[in-house]
A and B are shown apart, each in its own frame.
Chain A
Amino acid sequence: MSQRDNLIEYLLRLGDSALIQGQRLCEWCGRAPALEEELALMNVGLDLVGQARNWLDYAAELLADGRDADHLAFRRDERAYRNLLLVEQPNGDFAVTMTKQFLYDAWHFQVLEGLSRSGDERVAGIAAKALKEVTYHLRRSSEWVQRLGDGTEESHRRMQAAIPQLWRFTVELVNADELDQRLCTAGITPQPEQIASAWQAKVAEVFAAATLPMPEPASHFYLSGRRGLHSEHLGLLLAEMQFLQRAYPDATW
């Protein structure tokens, strides 16, 4: 693959993860545990979908095959989606949602911080803007993990149930693949090992403050969102998200 192809693939990973995480947050609309959370969940979702649009816009420009960001978002099938398995997992209860958000935010923050120093100016620019938003997301989700972990007996029990549901998918956050290595060597993306260790440290710190045991590192997993091998959840999510564009492909919205 050429450098350009590598970058396109990487941009899809970033954009797809932000989009799918944003889509899951949309599902909370009207169902949050407090009014302040309605506002916050939609706010975080809005940031993420906005970031997805920026990444997909850039990917579409590099692709230069007539597809735009909307085409990439609404006309690709699940085998072409490159998001992390973690973000496509169902919302579950608030403990699952917040744990998922935290595990993603802690990773996302490190990635964006590294990307804000990318040798690719456009990547650095998008990342720098997104980093400001994700700094807030991480603060918020870290606080919720602590509130729930170190709250009542019930909230602690729910957090202890949420972590194993999600933990196996974190293997994708800490294990780099060849693409990550190549783009790192080219000076476009940060060192995967650094991201992995910083992520690990952040999770350990917040889990400790939340009185939650830190699991062993997740081991090999059969599926890989980065290669378009998703869990069964993504297909349904896309069926809902893409319905209008699929049903009315000639329409202008």
Chain B
Amino acid sequence: MYAQLVETGVKRVKVLEEMSPEERAFQEKIDAEIKIEAKNWMPDAYRQTLIRQISQHAHSEIVGMLPEGNWVTRAPTLKRKLQLMAKIQDEAGHGLYLYSAMETLGADRDKEIAKLHSGRAKYSSIFNYPTLNWADMGAVGWLVDGAAIVNQVVLQRTSYGPYSRAMVRICKEESFHQRQGYEILLTMMRHGTQAQKDMVQDAIDRLWWPALMMFGPSDEHSPNSAQSMAWKIKRQSNDELRQRFIDQTVPQLELLGCTAPDPELKWNEQRGHYDFGAIDWSEFYEVLKGNGPCNAERIATRRDAIDNGTWVREAAVAHARKQQQKRDAA
């Protein structure tokens, strides 16, 4: 899971000559591929952009537990249930890594989570789509985690050290989930009944375009990309990554014996890539604005979880304080 469309707050990328000595030293370090660490000087806009991106990425892991949580109580076999539980547990763990990476930038976890709950912070648009049949668990693993991996593999080389190291750890687990997701679909297509095969195609039909949207707006409408690329927070453009994902995913789709809901999808010999149809950007922006199919439910669930848990967290703090007082008195 990851962050799409992150504001940098920068209108135009400065050239070296326009920079202060500090900014210039920073940019030269970036250009030399030296990782930025928590105690290093960094432009405030770089810090704020990373806080937004990493928190968005963390929020995505946490909200991303919900579409799968929807089926964990209904998983069809013990093996599938165990796999799904392990995956959800990993996602909570990824959320924790990412919030920790974000906190090295001086941000506060609780404050950033409050922004998510009030609609001021985003998470990946994909988790605003409902999971309607069991094959969605396979399709989410294969397409959604697949799209996330294409992005995160590149982010392993992102310029901020703590973020890049979190990505290395996360990618290992995500790759495992993606294979398991694909295997769910392959099992249903190879050994399943017609009803199961229909579920698989239905899941792909519903999740194909939303998965392509995970790479963010096309490059021409990505005003923040230039600065993120100059800072090497992003390493490749949205459209490049989207194309890579399609190129690697179509053969897997064919191996399943399924089709994409895109009549324009075909191999282009000259380009050496698949051509594909136009994304419905109006849907993308609606979902991002909060008007997707499950935006309201997802945020309400997360907000309720934290609100209903306030007394639990307060009890833990009060108990820890009492224990400390006992130790001090002894």
Tell me the A residues contacting B by CB distance below 8 Å: 22-23, 26-27, 29-39, 42-43, 45-46, 49-50, 52-53, 56, 69-70, 73-74, 93-94, 146-148, 150-152, 154-155, 158, 240-241, 243-245, 248, 250-253
Q: How far is the CB of B136 from chain A (nearest CB, A)?
A: 12
CA distance A52 to B77 in the complex (A): 12
Bound state CA distance, A43 and B252, in angstroms? 32
On chain A, the residues within 8 Å of B82 by CB distance are: 46, 49-50, 53
- Given A26-B73, A49-B78, A148-B315, are A248 and B195 also a contact pair (CB < 8 Å)? yes
Does B193 lie within 8 Å of A251, measured CB to CB? yes
Question: Within 8 Å CB of A93, what residues of B?
Answer: 308
Q: Is B29 an interface residue (CB 8 A)?
A: no
Q: Is the CB of B305 within 8 A of A32?
A: yes
Listed residue (B78, B192, B196, B319) with the most chain A CB atoms within 10 angstroms of its CB = B78
Tell whether B81 is near chain A: CB-to-CB under 8 Å.
yes
By the criterion CB–CB under 8 Å, are A152 and B95 in contact?
Answer: no
- Residues on the B chain within 8 Å of A248, using CB: 76, 193, 195-196
List B residues at the A interface (Cβ < 8 Å).
Answer: 62, 65-66, 68-69, 72-82, 85-86, 88-89, 92-93, 95-96, 99, 134, 184, 187-188, 191-193, 195-196, 301-302, 304-306, 308-316, 318-320, 322
10 A–B contact pairs at CB < 8 A? A35-B62, A39-B93, A42-B92, A148-B315, A150-B322, A240-B73, A244-B76, A245-B77, A248-B76, A248-B193
A32 to B302, CA, bound (A): 9
Shortest C-beta distance, A70 to chain B (Å), equals 5
Q: CB-CB < 8 A to B74: which residues of A?
A: 240-241, 243-244
Across the interface, do B312 and A253 meet the contact criterion of CB distance under 8 Å? no
Which chain B residues lie closer than 8 Å to A49 at the CB level?
Answer: 78, 81-82, 85
Known contacts A39-B92, A150-B322, A252-B187, A31 near B301 by CB under 8 Å: yes
